[in-house]
Amino acid sequence: MDERKEFMEANRRGQEMMAAIPHALSARYDRRIGRIVVRLSTGLEISFAPRDAQGLETATGEQLREIEIDPPGFGLHFPALDADLYIPALLEGFFGSKQWMAARLGELGGKAKSAAKARASRANGRMGGRPKKVATAA
């Protein structure tokens, strides 16, 4: 394929992607509600707490003041933090890498929710931990 055809094909694919995938038109940090607000090409506005996004979890309001949108609108960049977020991933509910998300979920799931659960966990630990599962014949 010659260079012109490759260029035209790449442009066509880019236009299809822009039409099919919502992208950011604007983004700002709203100090009043403590959330990042993103207006999408679909007319939808989404907002989320910085603590829920990898790289932003300890950011201050001043660090969130400036948000850059990459030229096609699929990424948000926070210059003061050198952090980036990918819009399609935000829309899918992933605010960080799989490893980071797993750590957050494990952290939440591993916390004892009651005094009874904490006592049971300590007692189980004194007995050597959770018993191994025994396979049964089908």
What is the tens place of the pLDDT at every residue in 97-127? Answer: 667 666 666 655 565 567 777 787 788 778 8
pTM attached to this predicted model: 0.61
Domain boundaries, the chain: 3-95, 97-127
Chosen CATH of 3-95 out of 3.30.2020.40, 3.40.50.410, 3.40.1190.10, 3.40.50.1820 = 3.30.2020.40
| Sequence-separated (6 or more) residues with CB below 8 Å from residue 136 | none
| Sequence-separated (6 or more) residues with CB below 8 Å from residue 118 | 112
